[in-house]
């Protein structure tokens, strides 16, 4: 055995997606008297390194979330005294050369299967100087940016958990009552439960928008794209939109054509962007207004449109309308509330998909928001031939 147990306790961070390998390595190091931190995620590894400043980090060469050379660069910036060992399940000469060029202390193959080799290598790394490594950037502001990003992530995580957990409980219990699963409710009881559900939904929607917007503001954000049909994008928001329109006495029409047309997008985000635009239209129509929502194939794209005949937006305000927390002054805005993030949210989502929201509006005449996304390549032919068949034009 190596002499690691003779050393005083050191703090070591083990970053490996394979929980079994990670656990075995952690166990060996803990038995040697060390304090061990574990993670399966590259970003979390950097956060732990920054907050705990370990003396050594063992990182698997195939750790997802960030290329190894980027991780090494950021580690130099955030925790310069942390020495680094790259581990790998199998010998990979290219990875080993790359690790050495990055300035890591050592490269270790299958550490969990060789406790003696592991302890010896760890021992040497703990006693050696940190080799010169490429820095993330010459700018000290970069480290501040990472710290702010770390705070943002932790804030989001805490808020998401603390707000969404009780909302889930309230909504679930209210649903059980509303569905009459434990006895039919009388009229008054049903009304009380309905109000609980409506307000819980409203709160959930606002919380969701705020959290999603914060997620979208992350400069590294990329949408989680998957194949989705127009029908699947519109169906989840239709019920809410119709309820909202009925409540405001707005005539809502929804057109989807063809429902089977497929695009590559983050279904939840695009649905929510369309919902935010449509709710904005409903809000600014007032009693007796009309809102038309459409998602239709046009050539090789899908054109999403939300048209209302509401108060319109003055040209001087059109530049500001997508800014966070901006609401253009008018009595309807104040009467209908909202915190002014809906359009910002929709714009960020559409931008993250490589497109842009277009705005056409005349004061007193109404407003039209639109954006287009490309059809999934294999869907183009099918959508053309099935277009008329699937055409739907549904009215509220």
Partner 1 sequence: MPDAVVTDRRHVLIVDDEPLILASTRLVLRSAGFRVTTTDSGNEAVAIAGDEMPDLILLDIMMPEVDGWETLGRLREDPRTNRIPVVIFTAREHTRGRQLAREMGARDYLQKPFEAEQLIELVHRYAETTGQGQAD
Q: Provide the binding-site residues for partner 1, judged by CB under 8 A.
A: 19-20, 40, 156-157, 160-161, 163-173, 175-176, 179, 181-182, 200, 204, 208, 211-212, 214-215, 218, 220-222, 224, 226, 268
Least Å distance, CB 305 to partner 1, is 27
Name which of 79 and 212 has its Cβ closer to partner 1: 212
DSSP string, 79-143: -TT-EEEEEESS--HHHHHHHHHTT-SEEEESGGG-HHHHHHHHHHHHHSPPPP---S-S-HHHH
**Helix H or strand E encompassing 367:** strand 366-374
- Distance from C-alpha of 284 to C-alpha of 10, rounded to nearest angstrom: 61
Quick one: DSSP state of residue 9?
P
Is residue 319 within 8 A of residue 347, CB to CB? The reply is: no
Closer Cβ to partner 1, 182 or 395, answer by number: 182
- As measured in angstroms, the least distance from the Cβ of 268 to partner 1 is 7
Residue with Cβ nearer partner 1 (268 or 333): 268
- The residue among 69 and 215 lying less far from partner 1, judged by its C-beta, is 215
Q: Give the shortest CB-164-to-partner 1 separation in angstroms.
A: 4
CB of 202 to partner 1, least distance (A): 12
Q: Which residue's CB is nearer to partner 1, number 180 or number 364?
A: 180
Q: Which is nearer to partner 1, 93 or 181 (CB)?
A: 181
- Compute the distance between CA of residue 25 and CA of residue 4 in angstroms, rounded to an integer: 14
Q: Residue 48 CB, nearest distance to partner 1 (Å)?
A: 14
* Owner of token pair 């989001």: 156
CB of 218 to partner 1, least distance (A): 7
| Least distance from partner 1 to the Cβ atom of residue 239, Å | 9
Rounded CA-CA distance 40/19 in Å is 7
Our CB check for partner 1 shows the closer of 212 and 229 to be 212
| Distance in Å from the first CA to the final CA of the chain | 76
Instruction: State the DSSP H helix or E strand holding residue 372, giving kind and residue range, or none if neither.
Output: strand 366-374
User: Cβ closer to partner 1: 11 or 153?
Assistant: 153
Strand residues in 185-249 grouped as ranges (E): 226-229
Q: State in angstroms the smallest separation of the CB of 165 from partner 1.
A: 5
For the chain, the residue count is 396
Distance CA 207, CA 235 (A): 21
| Helix%, strand%, coil% for the chain, nearest 5 | 50, 20, 30
Separation CA 114–CA 95 (nearest Å): 20
């Amino acid at each position: 055995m190596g002499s690691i147990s003779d050393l005083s306790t050191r703090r070591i961070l083990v970053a490996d997606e394979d929980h079994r390998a990670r656990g075995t390595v952690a166990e060996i190091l803990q038995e040697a008297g060390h304090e061990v931190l574990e993670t399966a995620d590259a970003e979390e590894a950097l956060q732990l390194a920054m907050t705990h400043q370990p003396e050594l980090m063992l990182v698997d060469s195939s750790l997802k979330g960030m290329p190894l050379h980027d991780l090494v660069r950021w580690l130099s910036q955030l925790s310069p005294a942390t020495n680094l060992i790259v581990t790998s399940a199998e010998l990979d000469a290219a990875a080993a050369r790359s690790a050495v060029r990055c300035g890591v202390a050592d490269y270790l193959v299958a550490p969990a299967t060789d406790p003696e080799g592991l302890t010896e290598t760890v021992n040497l790394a703990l006693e050696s100087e940190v080799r010169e490594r490429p820095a993330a950037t010459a700018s000290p502001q970069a480290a501040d940016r990472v710290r702010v990003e770390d705070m943002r992530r932790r804030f989001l995580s805490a808020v998401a958990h603390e707000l969404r957990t009780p909302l889930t409980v309230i909504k679930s219990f209210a649903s059980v009552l509303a569905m009459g699963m434990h006895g039919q409710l009388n009229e008054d009881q049903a009304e009380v439960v309905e109000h609980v559900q409506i307000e819980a939904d409203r709160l959930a929607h606002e919380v969701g928008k705020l959290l999603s917007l914060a997620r979208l503001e992350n400069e590294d954000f990329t949408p989680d794209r998957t194949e989705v049909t127009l029908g699947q994008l519109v169906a989840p928001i239709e019920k809410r939109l119709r309820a909202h329109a009925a409540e405001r006495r707005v005539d809502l029409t929804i057109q989807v054509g063809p429902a089977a047309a497929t695009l590559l997008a983050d279904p939840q985000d695009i649905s929510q962007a369309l919902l935010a635009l449509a709710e904005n239209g409903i809000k600014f129509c007032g009693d007796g207004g009309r809102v038309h929502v459409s998602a239709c194939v046009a050539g090789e794209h899908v054109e999403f449109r939300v048209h209302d005949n509401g108060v319109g937006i003055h040209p001087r305000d059109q530049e500001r309308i997508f800014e966070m927390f901006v609401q253009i002054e008018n009595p309807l805005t104040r009467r209908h509330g909202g915190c002014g993030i809906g359009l910002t949210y929709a714009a960020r989502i559409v931008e993250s998909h490589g497109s842009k929201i277009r705005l056409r509006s005349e004061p007193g005449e109404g407003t039209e928001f639109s954006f287009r996304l490309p059809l999934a390549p294999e869907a183009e032919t099918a959508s053309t031939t099935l277009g008329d068949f699937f055409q739907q034009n549904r009215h509220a």
